[in-house]
Amino acid sequence: MTPDQVLAEPRRGRAYWHTALTLAVLVAVACLARRHWPVLETGAVRLAVADQGWLLVAAAATLATWPCAALAQQGAVPHRLPRGRLVAAQFASSAANQMLPAGLGAGAVNLRFLMRCGLSLSGAATALAVKGTAGAVMRGALIAVLVTACPGVLHLPYVGAGHLLAGCAFTACAVAVLAGPLWGRCRPALAPVRTHIAAVHGRPARATALWGGSLAFVTLHCGVLVAVTRAVALPLAPARVALLYLAASTAAALLPTPGGLGSLDAALAFALTAVGAPGAAAASAVLGYRLLTVWLPLLPGLLVLAVLVRRRAL
């Protein structure tokens, strides 16, 4: 067996696992949709007669998400990237993300784009990791702020003293191992990452773009759902809707379906109905959000992806 075949085996196994999990989630969602079809049908009708002004606001917020993603990506790279192709790559990557699970589509498109812009494979991967980390940090910070502003919306599970002590002991052991024998081996590999992060944060404009773009991106997605709930006359406070969106999308990320297909829809609907929203209104809000952020941009995004590939921008 050749080295390439040896490397291909685990990749093939992961692909099979992702495919099986995706199919299982889609089958479960299809069963739920069939069971609750009258509610979904009523939600679609309600969306069709929704407030057009608020839907336009939601559409404008959706359009603004791609420049914000481009801004965050530029902030994660020390040297300047071509603006037009950068925004186009973010638009194309959002479409590619609907084809592969766990963000693999978007990651592959952005990796190829950064490499075409002159970054090495390790440099491009580091830039993507920096952008992803900044996005996760800003999402966590926004959740913390909204939890404080909206107490009682999220109910955290009770953690007993035994579980807490076990978690602390595990964390202490992990830190001891990482700080001991593994640190000497990991330090040379982490040196380029530290250099990259220092180069980005050594330029205030890049750091502002990275963190500001990451915050704006997640805030705009919250804004899209808030505007759609207003359009369908769902009586929930904007801060509460934003917190529910962040909680639902974070939970849906645990199921690596392409673009959160099925998992995010179910999590959002459950979150909205859990705080008292009528089933039809919640279905309308979820359908509107997914229509604007996924289904309408999908075909144009795939066309842009094809153009970028044809012009060797990816």
Q: What is the pLDDT of residues 50-69, one digit of tens each?
A: 888 999 999 999 999 999 99
What CA dihedral angle connects 288, 289, 290 and 292, to 10 degrees?
80
Q: What is the pLDDT at residue 277?
A: 86
As a whole number of angstroms, the distance between CA 17 and CA 20 comes to: 5
Q: What is the pLDDT at residue 261?
A: 73
pLDDT band with cut points at 50, 70 and 90 for residue 3? very low
Using only C-alpha atoms, what is the Rg of the chain?
21
Q: What is the pLDDT at residue 8?
A: 47
pLDDT band with cut points at 50, 70 and 90 for residue 284? confident
Contact 33, 40 (CB under 8 A): yes
Q: What is the pLDDT of residues 169-228, one digit of tens each?
A: 767 666 565 555 655 566 666 677 788 889 898 999 999 999 999 999 999 999 999 999
Q: What is the pLDDT at residue 25?
A: 47
- Rounded average pLDDT over 33-51: 62
Q: Higher pLDDT residue, 29 or 174?
A: 174
pLDDT band with cut points at 50, 70 and 90 for residue 266? confident
Q: Higher pLDDT residue, 153 or 271?
A: 271
- Mean pLDDT of all residues belonging to the chain: 80
Q: Which residue in this structure is represented by tokens 């336009």?
A: 56
Q: What is the pLDDT of residues 87-116, one digit of tens each?
A: 999 999 988 887 776 677 888 899 999 999
Q: Higher pLDDT residue, 185 or 154?
A: 154
Q: What is the pLDDT of residues 230-246, one digit of tens each?
A: 999 888 999 999 999 99
Contact 147, 153 (CB under 8 A): yes
Q: What is the pLDDT at residue 7?
A: 39
As a whole number of angstroms, the distance between CA 244 and CA 271 comes to: 6
For a pLDDT cut of 70, what percent of the chain falls above it?
71
Cα–Cα separations (whole angstroms), residue 266 to 25, 37, 40, 197: 10, 14, 12, 37
Q: Higher pLDDT residue, 69 or 152?
A: 69
As a whole number of angstroms, the distance between CA 132 and CA 97 comes to: 15
- Rounded average pLDDT over 301-312: 88
Contact 256, 102 (CB under 8 A): yes
Q: What is the pLDDT at residue 96?
A: 85
Q: What is the pLDDT at residue 314?
A: 81
- Rounded average pLDDT over 70-79: 94
pLDDT at 11 over 60: no
DSSP string, the chain: --HHHHHHHHHHHHHHHHHHHHHHHHHHHHHHHHHTHHHHHHHHHHHHTS-HHHHHHHHHHHHHHHHHHHHHHHHTSSS---HHHHHHHHHHHHHHTTTSSTTHHHHHHHHHHHHHTT--HHHHHHHHHHHHHHHHHHHHHHHHHHHHHSTTSS-PPP--HHHHHHHHHHHHHHHHHHHTHHHHHHHHHHHHHHHHHHHHHTSHHHHHHHHHHHHHHHHHHHHHHHHHHHHTT----HHHHHHHHHHHHHHHTTS--GGGTTHHHHHHHHHHHHTT--HHHHHHHHHHHHIIIIIHHHHHHHHHHHHHHHTT--
pLDDT band with cut points at 50, 70 and 90 for residue 155? low
Side chain identity at 45, as an amino acid letter?
A: V
Q: Which CB contacts under 8 angstroms, 24+ apart, belong to 201-208? A: 203/78, 206/74, 206/75, 206/76, 206/77, 206/78, 207/75, 208/75
- Rounded average pLDDT over 267-282: 88
Q: What is the pLDDT at residue 110?
A: 93
